[in-house]
């Protein structure tokens, strides 16, 4: 599909007021997206697990407006309060998607959003938030214009989510998702994500992710700045090539179910992401001493127990502990006894691979 295919169809219904609500989960990348062209066109493909418990619930009310405007008129309530912090990001998102959803300027849009994970837990909510908002817009488009089928609905939801926040496009489907054009995957695209479902080893069924909250402060350098720094990064081309190579390797691992290789690959991707930050100009460091202590403990535990538990990192200090569901008892004990001491107020969130967004 190309860009023109995402322009909305003819309006066939006159709607004056409509409201929709979606729950949409966050996701955690295994092979990371780091570096982009304009409008979140990724420099390399990425693969992620969609989560389940870490999610955003967003309701959007569309009210027909008589005012003529060139931009989208909206207000936003976050966790029960009017919130101006998100305005610039959402304003930018609307201004970019207007080309594909021009009907939006004829309505006043009231957004009401909450996260399931604790406020300021240091967990990025842009993936869950942008995907939930995009799904509400698509539900409205479905009622307003000639419906083009479920496949198109989710593809365009992923497409406009990407415009809001790159990684958000991987939250539209449950399970394991790939975003970014790659010859090895039929139908893959830089514009939206696709769900990987063929021949995935049952070793990945109900895979677990426990998120250790090491630091609940806002990170000092945003992901947008980090992506930007990749443009002048001395290692960027090497990184993009390596990411393509790792996508290929992970594709094989997802099929053969080799969890030992999975752990090595996922950890190397996480450390590569942070090494790119450390070698940017200016350089910066998002890991904290506790992040490193957890990493050491996880690697030692894996070696001693032979349980395929590994860590990954997002662009922050918090650590995601990934492990098979069948090892939940041993790993939960390990987390409680050995890792929780590194968490801010002992806080961690148990999550797992999820089934994807749900309309309320």
- Which residues sit at the interface with ligand PMV, rule CB under 6 A? 29, 32-34, 46, 126, 165-167, 223, 227, 273, 314-315
**Cβ 191 to ligand PMV, closest distance in Å?**
15
Nearer to ligand PMV, 166 or 308 (CB): 166
* Residue closer to ligand PMV (CB basis): 29 or 294: 29
Nearest approach in angstroms of CB 48 to ligand PMV is 6
Residue 248 DSSP symbol: H
Question: Considering the complex, what minimum distance in angstroms separates the CB of residue 119 from ligand PMV?
Answer: 18
Closest approach, Cβ 170 to ligand PMV, in A, equals: 7
Q: Smallest gap, in angstroms, from Cβ of residue 303 to ligand PMV?
A: 27
Count of CB atoms situated within 10 Å of the CB of 69: 10
Query: Is the CB of 46 or the CB of 280 nearer to ligand PMV?
Result: 46
Minimum CB separation from ligand PMV for residue 19, in Å? 27
Least separation in angstroms between residue 167's CB and ligand PMV is: 3
For residue 11, the 8-state DSSP code is B
* CA 108 to mean position of chain CA atoms: 27
Instruction: Give whichever of 137 and 276 is closer to ligand PMV, judged by the CB atom.
Output: 276
- Cα(101)–Cα(104) distance, integer angstroms: 6
Q: How far apart are CA 93 and CA 73, in angstroms?
A: 12
Q: At closest approach, how far in Å is the CB of 114 from ligand PMV?
A: 20
Q: Which is nearer to ligand PMV, 27 or 297 (CB)?
A: 27
> Do residues 320 and 333 make contact, with C-beta atoms less than 8 angstroms apart?
no
Half-sphere exposure of 220 (CA within 13 A, CB side): 9
φ/ψ of 84, rounded to 5, equals -90, -15
Nearer to ligand PMV, 141 or 269 (CB): 269
Give start and end residues of each alpha helix (H) in the chain: 87-97, 126-144, 150-164, 223-229, 236-256, 259-278, 289-305, 328-334
Cis previous bond, 117, omega within 30: no
For ligand PMV, the closer of residues 42 and 324 by Cβ is 42
Least distance between ligand PMV and beta carbon 3 (Å): 20
Q: Which residue, 168 or 343, has its beta carbon nearer to ligand PMV?
A: 168
Q: What long-range pairs does 254-260 form, CB within 8 A, spacing at least 24?
A: 254/47, 254/176, 254/196, 254/200, 254/201, 254/204, 255/199, 255/200, 255/201, 256/201, 257/201, 257/202, 257/203, 257/204, 259/203, 259/308, 259/324, 260/308
DSSP 87-145: HHHHHHHHHHHTTT-GGGGGEEEEEEEEESSPTTSS---HHHHHHHHHHHHHHHHHHHB
Listed in sequence order, the residues at least 6 apart from 119 whose beta carbon sits closer than 8 Å to its beta carbon are 79
Nearer to ligand PMV, 310 or 315 (CB): 315
The alpha carbon of 117 is separated from its chain's Cα centroid by a whole number of angstroms, namely: 15
Of 27 and 106, which CB lies nearer to ligand PMV in the complex structure? 27
The strand pairing partners of 210, in sequence order, are 321, 350
Q: Output the smallest distance, CB 36 to ligand PMV, in A.
A: 7
| CA distances to 73, 128, 212 from 316, in Å | 33, 17, 11
Contact 155, 138 (CB under 8 A): no
């Amino acid at each position: 599909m190309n860009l023109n295919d995402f322009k909305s169809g003819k309006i066939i219904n006159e709607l004056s007021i409509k409201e929709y609500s979606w729950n949409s989960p966050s996701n955690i990348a295994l092979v990371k997206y780091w570096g982009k062209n304009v409008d979140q066109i990724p420099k390399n493909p990425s693969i992620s697990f969609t989560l389940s418990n870490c999610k955003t619930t967003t309701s959007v009310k569309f009210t027909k407006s008589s005012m003529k405007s060139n931009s989208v008129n909206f207000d936003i309530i976050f966790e029960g309060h009017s919130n101006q912090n998100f305005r610039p990001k959402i304003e930018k998102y609307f201004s970019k998607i207007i080309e594909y959803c021009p009907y939006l300027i004829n309505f006043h849009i009231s957004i009401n959003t909450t996260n399931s994970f604790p406020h300021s837990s240091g967990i990025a909510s842009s993936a869950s938030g942008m995907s939930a908002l995009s799904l509400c817009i698509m539900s409205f488009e479905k009622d307003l214009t000639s419906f083009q089928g479920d496949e198109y609905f989710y593809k365009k939801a992923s497409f406009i989510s990407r415009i809001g926040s790159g990684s958000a496009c991987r939250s539209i489907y449950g399970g394991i998702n790939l975003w970014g054009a790659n010859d090895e995957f039929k139908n893959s695209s830089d514009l939206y994500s696709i769900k990987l479902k063929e021949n995935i080893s049952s070793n990945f069924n109900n895979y677990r992710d426990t998120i250790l909250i090491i630091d609940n402060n806002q990170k000092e350098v945003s992901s947008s700045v980090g992506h930007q720094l990749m443009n002048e990064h001395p290692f960027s081309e090497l990184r993009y090539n390596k990411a393509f190579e790792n996508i290929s390797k992970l594709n094989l691992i997802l099929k053969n179910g080799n969890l030992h290789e999975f752990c090595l690959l996922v950890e190397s991707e996480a450390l590569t992401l942070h090494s790119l930050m450390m070698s940017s100009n200016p350089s910066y460091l998002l890991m904290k001493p506790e992040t490193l202590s957890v990493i050491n403990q996880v690697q030692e535990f894996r070696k001693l127990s032979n349980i395929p538990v590994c860590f990954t990192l997002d662009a922050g200090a918090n650590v995601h502990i990934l492990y098979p569901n069948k090892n939940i008892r041993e790993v939960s004990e390990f987390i409680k006894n050995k890792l929780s001491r590194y968490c801010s107020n002992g806080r961690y969130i148990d999550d797992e691979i999820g089934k994807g967004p749900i309309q309320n």
